[in-house]
Structure 1
Amino acid sequence: MGGVNGGEADACGGDGRPTATLLLDDDPSSDAALDVAPESTNVLVVSASRSMREVVEEWRRRAGTLPAALGVITYAEFDRSASAAPSGTPSRKPLSGGDITVTSMSDPADLRRLGTAVTLYLDDWVDTDRETLVYVDALDPFVDANGVESTFQFLHLLVQSVDQSAADVVVRLDPSTTDERTINTYRPLFGRVVDATTTRTLDDDELHALLANGRRRFVLRSLLDQPTLELDRLATRLARWENDIDEPTDTQHTRAYTALASVHLPRLTEAGIVTFDRSAERVRLADGNWSADRLRRYLTAPLDDDG
């Protein structure tokens, strides 16, 4: 798995082992901003407030595509007639438009039933050759419904279950509505904690200086059109653009590739504007405290190129 919300941490450790991440963030739709490869990842979203349609639309908007398999356990569109199979276990409803299924739930206080619903997805996906990510988009409603201790016990079992399935789990907790004592209670359950609220905001002078380079402006224009790109493809596009040819030579491609990997992408990553996954050689726009509209405004303004 890749970076969480701007590349501040990985959802999976560098040795490839599955990990559990506590994401401190005020944006419930951060699942679509995680640095995963959608075409080779199963994603299960657990949401107390977002509907299936909202999850799907957010993935398409931010990632440009849907995961290979997308499951949503939602409490936002409960249908009593379809909520349970005859055995009483949570049932899933397949939807058109891809490998998409939804499980409608009614009571966030029923953590045992939620655990069963998650396990059913993990069991179905365990034999696939794809990675699996479980994303709980807001822990707060479950804490409110069950209390800190019961939610702690649920998270402990969830992390164990996900680990046994060789999957990753990311649980989002809103630090603006959760006291520090509660956050510290949950920290030991997770292999890593990512505080996405610490993303630094670029001031106008910093952003102007960063974008006073033609190659960096080209990268950002490309990512605004297509939020995720392979580094090799981005280098090819850059070589075509700066040499004004359809088929760049190997030397021209290598020059563009090296400049991106060693200079420009690290600069943009440090500023929190892009996420650069070196191991996967993948580049994507990062969610930060900067405005995409503001970025577009700077990209269309005349700037002195710093070379």
Structure 2
Amino acid sequence: MAKIGNIELGDFPLLLAPMEDVSDPPFRALCKEEGADLMYTEFISSEGLIRDAVKSVQKLDIFEYERPIGIQIFGNDIESMKQATEVTAAANPDIIDINYGCPVKKVACKGAGAGILQDIPKMVRMTAEIVKSTNLPVTVKTRLGWDDNTKYIVEVAERLQDVGIQGISIHGRTRKQMYKGEADWSLIAEVKNNPRMHIPVFGNGDIDSPEKAKLYKERFGVDGVMIGRASIGYPWIFREIKHFLATAEHLAAPTFNERLEAARRHLEMSIKWKGERNGIMEMRRHYTNYFKGIAHFKEFRMQLVTLDEQKELFEVFEAIKAHYAAEGMLSN
């Protein structure tokens, strides 16, 4: 049984990764319905929270049905991160997560996210201060190291545990790799197998099928897996993995009707939560996966990713429904 603080997550929990402009409340609602055991928000800038920036504060929105839910913060200044922790705790999440893994230039090159992997002593000091400034369980999301020469994750995980974190998720790549190449889970397994570690260790990177989740569970012995890119436009990945782990059989793929309805609901919630412009723009990355493998869909996809008024978009959904109903695809 994996536990973070007093939060029981089951035998092999599936976590939704914190992804910028993806892991928002509309998408989290769909992932929760499909079996995600623990979800994290998009990462939130500590400086933005302190300044009361609208976009940062909006990301603190969490809902009862999402629990357990973690809010993830990032920054490079220890004092700002402590203040942001207090602001975050007031939003009443179950967990506060620290982002030490984001590889993008505008974050990492300012010493935040994965950038702090170049200064491990500061990483440990910052973590200790955050743990001290809240009664909530604190977890960390990080990478193996900054580059191939600095893969210190086994020692780093132990030091972070020693200053009080209660769970760690490790992406099996360095910052330098970004998202390229194959994730190396052998070092994640080393962290898990370190006899001094007693907090849950979650693996992240390349889990894109039920078979891979089962293989990595057995091969690397982690306490659970965190799923990121494979869930974009495909929240069913959670239920498919759970079913496969329990039965060693594949669950039937979502029907065309399920895909269509999920995408339409997702768009509706996205507009309601972010407003028409942002809601429409940020949905675009999901459509490819929602309708992957559907024959003759290219023209509809082009409309979904180029139209920018909700009335037109919902008309496209009606047109898709009519077209594929005529093809006999809505009943299967």
State TM-score, norm by structure 2: 0.39
Structure 1 or 2: more helix by fraction: 2
Structure richer in strand, relative to its length? 1
TM-score relative to the length of structure 1: 0.42
